């Protein structure tokens, strides 16, 4: 439970924040090489797994850092977002083409990395708060 609750709270936070961003703020990519929006529900399980892996990385970094607070969570969450999402976006940009060009433009690549750093910083804050809460309960007992 020590690690499960912070992870689940972080995953819920990230799914809510990223859903607002990807479903309400930015336009769905129109590239012919992207799964059409109306067919994305078939990929929900894989999308959830990918999000869980990135949130798990943030939770692990927060726990390893030893500073269990929202502020520490913001820093470690941002690092997880930059490294995990940054690597993904840079590799997709560098190694995959579609109809003779990149799947995403460099501008879209950078925008997605920055957005994920911010979203993961917020997620890290939630994870850090949950770890701090658990730590306070342990010390009180």
Residue 28 falls inside a structural domain: no
Tell me phi and psi for residue 104, to 5 degrees.
-125, 150
Domain-embedded: residue 7: no
Is residue 103 situated within a structural domain?
Answer: yes
Query: Which residues fall within 8 angstroms of residue 79, CB to CB, at 6 or more apart?
Result: 61
In a domain, 42, yes or no: no
Q: Do the domain assignments include residue 133?
A: yes
Residue 48 lies in a domain: no
In a domain, 78, yes or no: yes
SS3 of the chain: the string is CCCHHHHHHHHHHHHHHHHHHHHHHCCCCCCCCCCCHHHHHHHHHHHHHHHHHHHHHHHHHHHHHCCCCHHHHHHHHHHHHHHHHHHHHHHHHHHCEECCEECCCHHHHHHHHHHHHHHHHHHHHHHHHHHHHHHHHHHHC
Q: Which domain holds residue 115?
A: 68-141
- Choice among 30-34, 66-70, 72-76, 90-94 with the minimum mean pLDDT: 30-34
pLDDT digits (tens, 9 = 90+) for 1-48: 789 999 999 999 999 999 999 989 998 877 788 888 888 888 899 999
Q: Which two three-digit tokens encode residue 140?
A: 């009180």
Residue 23 counted as domain residue = no
pLDDT digits (tens, 9 = 90+) for 83-136: 999 999 999 999 988 888 888 889 999 999 999 999 999 999 999 999 999 888
Instruction: Flag whether the pTM goes above 0.85.
Output: yes
The predicted pLDDT at position 62 comes to 96
How many domains, in total, are found in the chain? 1
Residue 138 token pair: 């342990």
- Match 């470690």 to its residue by tokens: 76
């Amino acid at each position: 439970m020590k690690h499960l609750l912070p992870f689940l709270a972080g995953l819920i936070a990230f799914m809510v924040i990223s859903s607002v961003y990807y479903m309400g703020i930015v336009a769905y990519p129109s590239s012919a090489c992207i799964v059409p929006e109306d067919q994305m529900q078939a990929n929900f399980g894989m999308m959830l797994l990918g999000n869980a892996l990135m949130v798990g990385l943030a939770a692990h970094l927060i726990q390893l850092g030893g500073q269990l607070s929202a502020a520490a969570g913001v820093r470690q969450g941002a690092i997880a977002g930059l490294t995990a999402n940054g690597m993904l976006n840079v590799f997709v940009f560098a190694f995959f083409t579609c109809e003779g060009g990149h799947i995403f433009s460099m501008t879209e690549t950078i925008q997605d990395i920055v957005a994920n750093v911010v979203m993961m910083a917020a997620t890290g804050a939630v994870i850090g708060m949950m770890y701090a809460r658990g730590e306070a309960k342990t010390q009180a007992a």
